[in-house]
Amino acid sequence: MSKKKQRSYSQDIVGDSIHSIQKVIEPPADTSSRILKYLLIGISILFLFLMLVLPLVVVVVNALRDGFHTYVEAVLDEYSIKALQLTLLATVIAVTVNTIFGVFASYLLSKFYFRGRQFLATLIDIPFSISPVIAGLIFILTFGNVGWMGEFFYEHNIKIVFAAPGVILATIFVTFPFVFRELFPVLNAQGKDEEEAAALMGAKGFTIFRKITFPHIKWALLYGVILCTARAMGEFGAVSVISGHLRGKTNTLPLHVEILYNEFNTTAAFAVSSILVLLAVLILIARNFVEWKKK
Amino acid sequence: MEQQIVKVKNKKGVRVIPGFGLSMGVTLTMLSCLVLIPLISIFVSASHLNFQEFIEVITSRQVVSGYIVSLSCAFFAAVINAIFGMLLAWVLVRYEFPGKRIMDGMIELPFALPTAVAGISLTFLYSDQGWIGSLFAQAGIKIAYTRVGITIAMVFVGIPFVVRAVQPVLEKLDRQYEEAAMMLGAGRVYTFFRVVLPELFPSLLAGFGLAFARGIGEYGSVVFIAGNIPYKTQIAPLLIMSKLEQFKYSDATAIALVLLLLSFILMFFINSLQIYMQRFHKV
């Protein structure tokens, strides 16, 4: 309790000092610049309200349009629950895989100099600039019946396309660079002097990572994981291509929303959407919390 | 901003920090298995295509109009995002007002909100019976199921890119120059366009490029509001999707390949632009 108080006290001091510096620098505001200020703020608020807030309101209002009972029924529908399970499974696997990759890749690219380093960084960024539909397509072209590896998997009776593994693979692909992109700038800015010193003093690899590298990237890692979770959870295009829309089997929550919507079951579609909206808002809050902690 | 790693090993040419082999191995294995090998498939299956067939597919009227719709809508959306993103970044950095933190936190919403949810929600909002759409419908303007609707959806997904690209640069920008310009008698508009904007331009362009690229590839939030009218509101990713549903894999591959090349060219352009701009910023 006392620790908490102390922290906020010191923050107040910092906040105040920044504020006072700003006050000194800022030229005395005349009326026209004050009008401009409120005009610009007004436009921004209007823009954000129209583009961001209103769509959320639409989801909530439509989800509850036919009463709370219908809402609960749509959310607790057997297929919705199954879709939620698959979404969570794919998200957990994708986030785990991409976190492992992100940590290793950012360590590699920031602590060592080697030929082709820049090229490797570009390759890692590829999934970011590819249309999700194409991301789904490439897995069909690899593992599907038409794909060059399709025969092998068919003979061994392993289904990837139009099955859960395909959904998971597509999710991993789409969110592949996220953790890396958060970690890399932090590690790069930190340099490698500390690790070198530790290594020269005889520390082993894992000790160096745990005691020196990790404390630097703690918050960036959490931040990357949050972003990755958000994208993995909501991925639609790539998963839509590869899932084959099998209800209760390969449907994720966003796909379930699409099916309900196309069946003109709008209320149910918005009800299921509201789960995703809730998750998105939670992620945003977590993100802002981490951002605040980083500072 | 990015600190270059100095090309120095110790005297014997041996790396001091352990873990090079392990992290290189893990990185390359995961990258190849999960990204590169699947990605190569598209080129493998494209190589099976007959060249004439390939040209025929990608120059068919429907496909060309798909590319045009995708590119033009994404371009306009990116322009709108550049203007409003600049404005938002300015307001968030330069002004103090209640609710600023919430506003700042909201910017990433399009990133966190699943695209399908955004899609159906925007469609509902802008359709003829929707809250905003009905207002425009009275004036005889249709938004949903037209290119305007597609552009709006692309604006939605692109908002964070420009704001987050410009914001940090604007935060670091020294206000002395603006003050000097003002003192020397430059007006506010003149100061903005001649003093502030040139400094922000590289990051603004980078944000514009990212929003543009995202718009071209976007599927989930656009597909509902587009309405899938042939030659009018069919975007390129949607064409790939519908070819796949008809099991025309080679057609889908051809369309995807061209779209892929387009986004690679765009990415290359952005990257080289950033490298070019960084030359001026390095001390």
DSSP string computed for A17-36: HHHHHHHHHSPPP-HHHHHH
Give the confidence band of A207 by pLDDT, cuts at 50, 70, 90: confident
Chain A positions in Cβ-Cβ contact with residue B97 (cut-off 8 Å): 41
Neighbours of B145 (CB within 10 A): 21
| CA gap A261, A268 in Å, rounded | 8
How confident is the model at residue B88, as a pLDDT? 94
DSSP SS3 for B15? coil
| CA gap B243, B255 in Å, rounded | 9
| Cα within 13 Å of Cα(A125), Cβ side | 18
- Which of A243, A134, A235, A180 lies closest to B39 in space, CA to CA? A134
Report, as an integer, the average pLDDT of A168-189: 91
Contacts for B255 with CB less than 8 Å, ≥ 6 apart? B57, B58, B63, B66, B236, B239, B240, B243
Over the range B267-283, which residues count as b (16 or more CB within 10 Å of their CB) and which as e?
A: beebeeeeeeeeeeeee
| Cα within 13 Å of Cα(A115), Cβ side | 0
Over 70: is that where the pLDDT of B13 sits?
A: no
Over 80: is that where the pLDDT of A44 sits?
A: yes
Over 90: is that where the pLDDT of A144 sits?
A: no
Which of B11, B27, B123, B218 best probes binding to A when mutated, by most A CB atoms within 10 angstroms?
B27
Amino acid (1-letter code) at residue A177: P
pLDDT one-digit tens code per residue, A72-120 = 888 888 888 999 999 999 999 999 999 999 999 999 998 888 888 888 8
Subunit contact A133:B260, Cβ cutoff 8 A: no
Subunit contact B5:A48, Cβ cutoff 8 A: no
Q: With contact defined as beta carbons under 8 Å apart, do B228 and B145 qualify?
A: no
Subunit contact A134:B22, Cβ cutoff 8 A: no
Subunit contact A131:B109, Cβ cutoff 8 A: no
State which residue of chain B sits closest to A188, comparing Cα positions.
Answer: B3
pLDDT one-digit tens code per residue, A58-70 = 999 988 888 888 8
| CA gap A204, A206 in Å, rounded | 6
In chain A, which among 55-114 make CB contacts under 8 A with chain B? 55-56, 58-59, 62, 97, 100-101, 104-105, 107-108, 110-114
pLDDT one-digit tens code per residue, B41-92 = 888 888 888 888 888 888 888 899 999 999 999 999 999 999 999 999 999 9
Q: Does A215 touch chain B (CB under 8 A)?
A: no
For tokens 């404390």, name the residue: A215
Lowest mean pLDDT across B14-23, B65-74, B175-184, B242-251: B14-23
Which of A113, A137, A229, A259 best probes binding to B when mutated, by most B CB atoms within 10 angstroms?
A137
| CA gap A41, A209 in Å, rounded | 45
Subunit contact A199:B24, Cβ cutoff 8 A: no
**C-alpha torsion sign, points B116, B157, B242, A235:** negative
List C-alpha distances in Å: A266 to A71, A74, A253, A254, A258.
11, 11, 15, 14, 10
pTM: 0.84
What is the 8-class DSSP label of residue B127? S
Using alpha carbons only, what angle is made at residue B105 by residues B101 and B107, rounded to the nearest 5 degrees? 125
| CA gap B76, A52 in Å, rounded | 19
Subunit contact B31:A287, Cβ cutoff 8 A: no
The nearest CA of chain A is from the CA of B89 a distance in Å of 9
Which of A114, A142, A266 is facing B37, going by the closest CB pair?
A: A142
| CA gap B251, B58 in Å, rounded | 8
Indicate the average pLDDT of chain A.
84
Higher pLDDT, B166 or A292: B166
How confident is the model at residue B14, as a pLDDT? 60
| CA gap B227, B145 in Å, rounded | 5
Subunit contact A33:B36, Cβ cutoff 8 A: no
State the DSSP string of B150-199.
HHHHHHHHHHHHHHHHHHHHHHH--THHHHHHHHTT--HHHHIIIIIHHH
Give the pair of three-digit tokens for residue B10: 């110790």
| CA gap B253, B45 in Å, rounded | 7
CA B40 to chain centre: 23
Q: With contact defined as beta carbons under 8 Å apart, do A208 and B18 qualify?
A: yes
Higher pLDDT, B28 or B195: B28
The nearest CA of chain B is from the CA of A160 a distance in Å of 13
DSSP SS3 for A215? helix
pLDDT one-digit tens code per residue, B202-245 = 888 888 988 998 899 889 889 888 888 888 888 999 899 888 88
| CA gap A186, B160 in Å, rounded | 21
State which residue of chain B sits closest to A135, comparing Cα positions.
Answer: B39
Q: With contact defined as beta carbons under 8 Å apart, do A58 and B121 qualify?
A: yes
Give the pair of three-digit tokens for residue A99: 């976190």
State which residue of chain A sits closest to B156, comparing Cα positions.
Answer: A51
Subunit contact B114:A258, Cβ cutoff 8 A: no
The nearest CA of chain A is from the CA of B30 a distance in Å of 7
The number of C-beta contacts closer than 8 angstroms across A and B is: 289
| CA gap A188, A141 in Å, rounded | 36
Neighbours of A273 (CB within 10 A): 32
Subunit contact A240:B219, Cβ cutoff 8 A: yes
Using alpha carbons only, what angle is made at residue A175 by residues B239 and B89, rounded to the nearest 5 degrees? 90
State which residue of chain A sits closest to B267, comparing Cα positions.
Answer: A129
| Cα within 13 Å of Cα(B194), Cβ side | 13
Which of B18, B109, B236 is facing A199, going by the closest CB pair?
A: B18
